[in-house]
Amino acid sequence: MSHHPTPLPVAEKLRLESLGVLPVLFPTVGILGLLSAFIWGLATNPMQLAFSYLFAFSVGFTICAGALFWTLLHHALDADWSVLMRRILESIASCFPVLLVLFIPIAFLFSKELWHWMTTDLSLDPLLAWKKPFLNEPFFYIRCTFYLLFFSIAGLLYRNLSMRQDLDGDPRITLRLRHTAYGFIPLFVLCLTFAGFDWLMSLDHHWYSTMWGVYLFAGCAQSSMAVLILITNGLVRTGHLKGLFTVEHNHIMGMLLF
């Protein structure tokens, strides 16, 4: 059975104030760089910008989705080794509302550039006509909205409840998170699989793969675990998690990565 560790001492908690101007500087530079690249790409090569933007969005999505998966699995299995890293995974998974906002340019600016089935004449493409009940714009946007809302709600729910438990120590929250994970995991699998179908596989609506969802899921799990390893070891090197993070944690994460 897992157990909840005692609260970390104040000195062990990473506070933004200790990082100086970095929490403001890095996001500012990132936003300015993103806007500059976006405007330049839109003016010079909109099609290249569209595919580059979708690629970058997909990378961020897979990392966040993988973090949510490990969070759900942690609670569903009542694991204890990952308690130390759980807050990191929850923080990554709670970034889905940002991805929801970042999807807006894809939906309103790049959709016709990316998914040619939206502009193809059905009379010239019998295969697309057969797929039209699924590949049509209204249903496509409904699905995309559902995926992103589900991931956003799930990510925020687990982070908020976990932080609430830090304050009151209510053991019922552990049971609630565990039971919720049982229902969320099948829904997570369906949303991740069909998001991959819609955003990536339908870039060429003549091509299909029954293993595409599995391939995407493996990428999510691996990429998010790699990010977790980098963050946890970075925290250890800066003097955090003293006496808590052991070589066994690295061994387990390394096995899950490979």
**pLDDT at residue 258, rounded to an integer:** 79
User: 13 or 88: whose pLDDT is higher?
Assistant: 88
pLDDT tens, position by position, 153-183 = 999 999 999 889 888 878 888 899 999 999 9
**pLDDT at residue 185, rounded to an integer:** 96
pLDDT band at 13 (very low <50, low <70, confident <90, very high): low
Q: What is the mean pLDDT of residues 41-70?
A: 94
CA distance 235 to 19: 13
| pLDDT above 60 for 11 | no
Q: What is the mean pLDDT of residues 99-113?
A: 93
CA distance 145 to 209: 23
- Minimum mean pLDDT range among 116-125, 149-158, 180-189: 116-125
- For CA atoms 198, 155, 67, 71, give the dihedral sign: negative
**pLDDT at residue 106, rounded to an integer:** 94
Nearest Cα neighbor of 155 from 240, 224, 56, 247 is 224
**pLDDT at residue 203, rounded to an integer:** 95
CA distance 228 to 26: 20
How large a percentage of the chain has pLDDT more than 70? 92
